[in-house]
Structure 1
Amino acid sequence: MNQKVDWKEVVELYDRYKSGRKVAEDLNISWTQVYRILRKCGVETQNPFSKGTPNQESEADEELQQILTGELLGDGYLTIYNNCKNACFRHASKHREYSEYLLEKFKIYDPHILSRSVGKNKYFHLTTKSNTYLTKIYNQWYNLDGKKEKIIPEDIELTPLVIYHWWVGDGGFNNTKNGQSFANIHTEGFRKKYVDLLVEKLSEIGFESSLIREPRMKNKEFGYYIKINQNDLYKFITMMENNLKCFEYKFIIDFERYKNRSIYRHRFSDFNNGILKGNKKESHKFNHYISNKNRIINIDHIISSKTKFFSQKGLDQISKYYEEYKFLHN
């Protein structure tokens, strides 16, 4: 900031608020400039990254622990700044909605968000205050033979909430040349032995996956990402619950792009078994209808169809489960 600032006003506001960030907001300057002025004026301040006394510990509840685990697998990280004894959590996203969601989830650590523009893109940087509990987690995740390298704890547990935060950070769909679809999770920044651990943990909860080597990575210890088995794709995506509009695209399998018909049949297996409930005649009609279409069918088409391809009972059953099986929409 190059604007002129009344140092006396900065000191008076800090004496009133006891918060450098609040002073920065009132004067429309950076909080770093506020603390620089306060130091030059000899004003004793609290470290902006601290929370309460240095030994005060605010332990995360079960939900926040899972969120933190998922974020550390993805785009989030813990760090200890110079002159700080404890760690704070940091995260950057181009989605304001997600940053504000994390702001609420990490509220016990008094987080704040700063927006920064990089070219035409705007990013939202979330930083919490430091805490001894976060330091304890930091020591579990950043310790490789005494070096501060990010690792994955052996006792990590992959719950749906953990995987959700991991997926929205580093996951995405991939379409191969032969039309097959896969869910990929980028783990290139971890050593291979830790990615192997994640593959093992995914297998334990019913998701088969494999490692793919990124050929552009020169260091053979790194550069591996995870590919979820095609047959587990639908089950993997629907296991997670997403309520954020900014990530809707990460939970829509675009079957128009994927020409492998086995995906269609796999996707509709639960629908078929759930709706037609052992009615072999209707079930056979349904499977025949699905497997002979070159595109995803729309449930509205089935319901509004005047054809006698399905019995009225079959159509009634499909209509009954309309809300439950919204995934049938194009």
Structure 2
Amino acid sequence: MKITTIEQNILIGSILGDGNLALYGRSKNAHYREHGAFYQLPYRMWKCNKLKNLKFKIRENEKYPSLVSPSHPIFTKLYNKFYINNRKSLTKENIKMLNHPIGLACLYMDDGSLVIDSSKKSNKIYLFPRIAIYTLNFTKEENMLLIEHIKNIFNIKFKLKESPYGTKYLLELNKRNEIMKFINIVKPYVENIKCMKYKIEVEERMNNKYNELLKENIEEKIVISPLHVKNKNYTKEEENLIISLKLKGVKDKEIAKIIGKTYYGVVDKIRRLRKEGKLPH
């Protein structure tokens, strides 16, 4: 068996999340296993379909059907990279294997949540989104490695947040422009899985929270914070250069090199330029 970039990233995102690799007894090679709540079965079936060339299958005879792989050297190599002294670990080397948005989407679907928060100020209640990824199995240093890697590869700036659980740290986004950039990167994968769509439905969740508060007949005015992504990361000159290069047929990776931005940051910028009507679809 050979592993593709897509398959690798689904596996790495899942290993950082709900998935586990195991090497038991006399077995020469490791295997992958993942289980979860029954309502998440469509998500595991989606993974199974994406990983069918690696002989993944769903064990349906279990109370909570699990996703499993056969034992194979591919998984042994991953086990040796990610399990140090029998503990799932992050290093400067193994984190490099997370290099495609589908891997980030799997990590988010496994261990992430979209929360609609509120705050009171001057007789108003402000509603705003927040995203957390519960990387509570990793140390502070490992979480910092992950934050830096996501920033460098995907141009998303998570921050470290303390927690009373696990190893006391998780990843969080609370700036609306960063949240929407993140949602736009993972959306093409998450929106295909019905049981996971609630994790990207920011506007719907905000409106639902608004309607819930209205029913409580509270006195304060309820304000939904705007969700648009502010164009702070690109100068007008850089924007014009992207448009010019794109119209000439220059590939996104080459544009990223020319203007000194990350590839996925440029992909997101081009998507927004098309939405604004500045580039043709």
For the superposition of Structure 1 and Structure 2, which TM-score range results when normalised by the shorter chain?
0.5 to 0.7
Q: What residue is the counterpart of 2:80 in the other structure?
A: 139
Alignment partner, residue 185 of structure 2: 239
CA offset at residue 112 of structure 1?
2.7
The question of 1:206 aligning with 2:140 is answered no
Q: What is the Cα deviation at residue 158 of structure 1? A: 4.2
Q: Secondary structure at the match of 1:176?
A: strand
1:100 corresponds to 2:45: yes
What percentage of residue pairs aligned between the two structures are identical? Answer: 26
Q: Which residue of the partner structure matches residue 72 of structure 1? A: 15
TM norm structure 2: 0.66
Q: Is the 8 A contact 2:181 2:229 kept in 1?
A: no
Q: CA deviation at 1:202?
A: 2.2
> How many aligned residue pairs are there?
204
- 1:125 to 2:63 alignment: no
Structure-to-structure mapping, 1:158-169, within 5 angstroms: 158-169=99-110
Q: Which amino acid aligns with 2:108?
A: W
Q: Is this contact kept in 2: 1:158–1:201, CA < 8 A?
A: no
Residue in 1 aligned with 2:54? 109
Match of 1:282 in 2: none
Consecutive unaligned residues of structure 1, counting only runs of 5 or more, are 1-57, 271-323, 326-330
Rounded Cα–Cα distance in structure 2 between residues aligned with 1:233 and 1:194 = 22
Q: Secondary structure at the match of 1:193?
A: helix
- Aligned pair in 2 of structure 1 residues 255, 105: CA closer, same or farther (>3 Å)? same
Structure 1 residue 192 corresponds to structure 2 residue 140: yes
C-alpha contact 2:41 2:65 (8 A) present in aligned 1: yes
Residue in 2 that maps onto 1:226: 171
Post-superposition offset of 1:70: 0.8
Specify the structure having the higher radius of gyration (Cα).
1
Matched, 1:59 2:2: yes
Structure 1 residues 84 and 183: alpha-carbon distance in aligned structure 2, compared to 1, 3 A threshold: same
Does 1:181 find its partner at 2:129?
Answer: yes
For 1:214, give the aligned amino acid.
S
Q: Aligned-pair distance for 1:96?
A: 2.2
CA distance in 1, matches of 2:107, 2:157: 17
Name the CA distance, whole Å, in 1 between partners of 2:170 and 2:229: 28
What is the aligned-residue RMSD (CA, Å)?
A: 2.6
d(CA) in 2 for partners of 1:99, 1:216: 26
Q: Which blocks of at least 5 consecutive residues in structure 2 are unaligned?
A: 120-126, 211-221, 232-274, 277-281
Structure 2 counterpart of 1:229, one-letter code? N
CA distance in 2, matches of 1:129, 1:112: 9
Q: For 1:77-98, what per-residue CA distance to the aligned partner results, in whole angstroms no more than 9, with x for missing partners?
A: 1111222110111111332222
